[in-house]
Structure 1
Amino acid sequence: MNNLKKIKVRELRLGMFLNGFDGAWLQHPFWKTKFLLLEPADLLAAHGSSVAECWIDIEKGEDVAPPVAVAPAAAAPRVVLPEAPALPPVSASFGEEMQRAAKLCRKARDATASMFNEARLGNAIDPEQCVPLVTEIAESMLRNPGALISLARLKTSDDYTYMHSVAVCALMVSLGRALGMDEEQCRDAGLAGLLHDIGKATISNDILNKPGKLTSQEFDSVKRHPVRGYELLVRGDAANAAALDVCLHHHEKYDGSGYPDKLAGEDISLMARMGAVCDVYDAITSNRPYKSGWDPAESVAQMISWKGHFDQKILSAFIKTLGIYPTGALVRMDSGRLAVVLEQNPAQLTKPVVKVFFSTKSDTYIPVERIDLSQKHASDRIAGREPREKWQFIRVDELWAGEFALGAM
């Protein structure tokens, strides 16, 4: 068939009709193999797979020639987001920023715990008091975003609620930058993230930290936290519109199946759609009393697969900030070695800096080697993400976070 053309997966771009991967179906990230590539998240997922080549149908989509505008598939109208700029270069190394980020995490955790305690006592919340903290978090994200985002995932059951708020704050700032927001908008996004779960101050810790399955009554209580948080902020009469909206609507889904108001599409505000992505990512990557957190790379792949849950354009921008293989992800190399991802190369999302430490061929630890996969001399590459549960004896977080994974924060 002359309309089919075999190309490298890395040559795929939006507007092409993917007719199939040249490899086992289990290796690629989609439940279907024939479809028009219209969503940036799908393109990122394809580029991050371990399959090297694929087939495109040039009668149904674009060729590898210079791109031609492709009409988007019929869908709910979208807000025109600002053109996303190139992410600014980091001004501090990952290691340097880890030291500062650890201190900031401790400070932010204590401040957030104090805020939740005030809410439990029935006192009004003053968001303005949080602005200096949000500013510090934004400055850390500007120096090196990977450090604070990654450290904030390392939570204990006792401080989960507080550190989750800090993590979502940081993720919102980073996502705002990726969407082209200015400094004030990013600060508003961060503040909204810090306050988004304040309603959980009204829920018993016995329910929040319950190791087993919640009863229907307990689950109903948890589902009321967006409304309760909104009411707390309204009573304080100082929260801005973004904070109020993200607090109330961060559990809405793009297909209308969320809560509390079952909003759909762009009836959900831009900030609330951002909040939904950031909230879910941190929740599923964090250890909880009732489950272990998912590997960061597995979490990204799962979020891509949940059709109807998120605004795909926002999800794509979010993945750009994290990388397809985020810091802390366990990956298998073409050589059969295991590695943990240390930091990102923003211009090449599939080629981060990794630390190789284990041979699956000899089933033994090997001398640790740091490899920047974006460098021409790099002789190995990532074959794909590796399930953490398969290697439970390996303390993955200690390999990238060192002392901070041992509770040093």
Structure 2
Amino acid sequence: MLKKIESRQLQLGMFIQSFEGSWLSHPFWKTKFLLRDPADLEAIRKSGVETCWIDVAKGLDVVGRAAAAEPEAVAPAPAAPPVVAPASKLKSSADVEPKASMGSELQRAAGVINRSRQQVVALFGEARLGRSVNSEQCMTLVEGIADSVSRNPSALISLARLKTKDDYTYMHSVAVCALMVSLARHLNLDEELVREAGFAGLLHDIGKMAMPMEVLNKAGSLTDAEYKVMQSHPVRGHELLSGGGLAMPGALDVCLHHHEKMDGSGYPHKLPGEQISLLARMGAVCDVYDAITSTRPYKNAWDPAGSIQRMAQWKGHFDPAVFQAFVKSVGIYPVGSLVRLQSGRLAVVAEQHPTSLVTPRLKVFFSTKSQMPIPLETLDLAQPGCNDRILGRESPSQWGFQNLDELWQ
């Protein structure tokens, strides 16, 4: 049962159904939630939103008691879809503390990746044959990936980046699933949405199973005609999932819209930012990051830190708030990045600090002064008494380093 009240009457324990006016005027990307956080209540009162609708069957009434039987009201339709709010209003958190060290989780994450690869190959093979996706099997996969990410996000995400070009189509889905889970937690989404984000990441490219193999695995650049064929994969994927009875709107939406851009230049529908859902905005960032940091049939991988730097410069492509949260989830210098230290040494990032983007744990291995390798040293920039610091990223290709990933594993 819905009731329209003034925002000043709101109190903790009420269930907010919708806000009056445009979604741009209120401080949340969501429109239906139980009001439990005093900070959320204060944000609403400061937002200038004068009235809202509450569901007194799901929360407290205006007098602070369970709802009494009243005639049911009908709330007006929202002025726009409940998509993510502007960058300045989206809440995010960098305090996603790992429960296990990088070293202790790497072996477990490797097992999760190997099992996931086998299952994704089988799932996608079924999809190529026109058969429905097994939602229960997919969710079991997502649970295993999400559990590893919960223990230590960097471990599985970093290992999944090391896919071969032959494995790309399958392992890209595993990697995007993990990235979506990590990003969702940095955006403070509830665990149900975290799992839905992971599910969406796992299936976002299912439409590529409807693409001709000679185009999907082409080693060189695509022709204009071939590129147009590849651009149809979001629509084909959406058709495959919806035709198979998939009842998860978020996954369907990400599948269809993960190539949309904030400036409206994306595909397939050229949606402007205010019409792109939160999960699709997240999918756009995660999809691109894993794509450019992976070896593909037609290109070599970009280094992780360089990829973050380039993505930050693509104006109009990503939602700024979502991208900012993504950087917090993987780091300014993600695991595997080559960095130059104030001491003149070069190091590879081996593990992120849970709350500081600029003080990761490093493996130092090279001196720029002597231009020679030095004994491998582990350096934790967050430790008291550490006098070194990162000056910036370096390009592994310019230094001729080929096997940096062996250092952090």
TM-score category of the 2 structures, normalised to the smaller one = 0.7 to 0.9
Cα RMSD of the aligned pairs, angstroms, is: 1.9
**Equivalent of 2:191, from 164, 183, 207?**
183
Give the equivalent residue in structure 2 for 1:353.
361
Q: Counterpart in 1 of 2:18?
A: none
State the 1:188 CA deviation.
0.2
TM-score (ref. length: structure 1): 0.78
Letter aligned with residue 174 of structure 1: S
Counterpart of 1:180 in structure 2: which amino acid? N
In structure 1, the residue matched to 2:310 is 302
**Which residue in the other structure is 1:193 paired with?**
201
Unaligned runs of 5+ in 2: 1-45, 47-82
Deviations 1:86-128 (A, max 9, x none): 5332121101110000010011111111111001111111223
The aligned counterpart of 1:321 is 329
Return the letter of the residue paired with 1:227. Answer: V
Q: What is the CA–CA distance in structure 2 between the aligned matches of 1:384 and 1:177, rounded to whole Å?
A: 27
Kept after mapping to 1: 8 A contact 2:349/2:360: yes
Tell whether the 8 Å contact from 1:116 to 1:201 is kept in structure 2 after alignment: yes
Q: Deviations over 1:120-141 (max 9, x none)?
A: 1111112232111101111111
User: Which residue in the other structure is 1:273 paired with?
Assistant: 281
Residue identity opposite 1:241 in structure 2: P
Distance, in Å, in 2 between the alignment partners of 1:211 and 1:234 is 31
Whether 1:90 and 2:110 are equivalent positions in the alignment is no
The answer to whether residue 136 in structure 2 is matched with residue 150 in structure 1 is no
1:351-387 Cα offsets, whole Å, 9 max, x none, are 1111000112111110001011111221211110001
Q: Find the partner of 2:228 among 216, 220, 226.
A: 220
- Summarize the alignment of residues 98-137 of structure 1 with structure 2, pairs less than 5 Å apart: 98-137=106-145
Which amino acid is the alignment partner of residue 289 of structure 1?
Answer: P
Give the conservation status (yes or no) of the 8 Å contact 1:87–1:177. Answer: no
Among all aligned residue pairs of Structure 1 and Structure 2, give the percentage whose two residues are the same amino acid. 59
For residues 86 and 334 of structure 1, do their structure 2 counterparts lie closer, same or farther at Cα, with a shift above 3 Å needed?
Answer: closer
Secondary structure of the residue that 1:92 maps to in structure 2?
Answer: coil
CA shift in 2, pair 1:202/1:383, >3 Å: same
- Cα deviation for residue 322 of structure 1 reads 0.8
Q: Distance in 2 between matches of 1:100 and 1:313?
A: 32
Instruction: Tell me the CA shift for residue 85 of structure 1.
Output: 4.0
Q: Deviations over 1:10-60 (max 9, x none)?
A: xxxxxxxxxxxxxxxxxxxxxxxxxxxxxxxxxxxxxxxxxxxxxxxxxxx
Q: Report the more deviating stretch, 121-130 or 151-160.
A: 121-130
**Structure 2 CA distance, aligned partners of 1:247 and 1:239?**
13
* Alpha-carbon offset, residue 184 of structure 1: 0.7
Please give the secondary structure, in 1, of the residue aligned with 2:97: coil
Query: 2-side partners of 1:78 and 1:198: how far apart?
Result: 25
After TM superposition, give the deviation of residue 239 of structure 1 in Å: 3.6
Question: Judging changes above 3 Å, is the alpha-carbon distance between structure 1 residues 147 and 158 closer, same or farther for their aligned structure 2 residues?
Answer: same
TM-score of the two chains, using structure 2 as the length reference: 0.78
Shift of 1:315: 0.3
1:291 is paired with a residue whose SS is: coil
Q: Residues 202-251 of structure 1, C-alpha deviation per residue, up to 9 Å, x if partnerless?
A: 11332222221111111111110000000000110124100000000000
SS of structure 2 residue aligned to 1:342: strand
Determine the structure 2 residue equivalent to 1:379.
387
Residue 400 of structure 1 is aligned with which of 394, 399, 408? 408
> Which structure 1 segments of 5+ residues have no match?
1-68, 70-76, 402-409
Q: Distance in 1 between matches of 2:141 and 2:179?
A: 14
What corresponds to 1:311 in structure 2?
Answer: 319
User: Against the structure 1 CA distance between its residues 205 and 157, is the aligned structure 2 distance closer, same or farther, given a 3 Å change threshold?
Assistant: farther
Q: Which amino acid aligns with 1:79?
A: A
Q: Could you say what secondary structure the match of 1:338 adopts?
A: strand
Structure 1: how far apart are the matches of 2:116 and 2:213? 20
2:271 aligned with 1:263: yes
Which structure 2 residues correspond to residues 62-81 of structure 1 after superposition, within 5 A? 79=85
Q: Which residue of 2 aligns with 1:205?
A: 213
Are 1:140 and 2:148 an aligned pair?
yes
Of the three residues 160, 168, 182, the one matched with 2:168 is 160
Structure 2 CA distance for aligned equivalents of residues 99 and 230 of structure 1: 35
How far apart, in 2, do the equivalents of 1:360 and 1:209 lie? 40
- Superposed CA deviations along residues 241-269 of structure 1, whole A, max 9, x for unmatched, are 00000000000000000000000112000
CA distance in 2, matches of 1:191, 1:78: 19
For these two proteins, the number of residue pairs brought into alignment is 329
**Residues in 1 aligned to 2:105 and 2:84: alpha-carbon distance in whole angstroms:** 37
- What amino acid is the match of 1:95? G
Matched, 1:332 2:346: no
Which amino acid is the alignment partner of residue 310 of structure 2? Q
The 5-angstrom pairing of residues 34-53 of structure 1 reads: none
Counterpart contact for 1:82–1:181, Cα < 8 Å:
no
Report the residue type matching 1:184 in the other structure.
Answer: E
The alpha-carbon deviation at position 82 of structure 1 amounts to 6.2
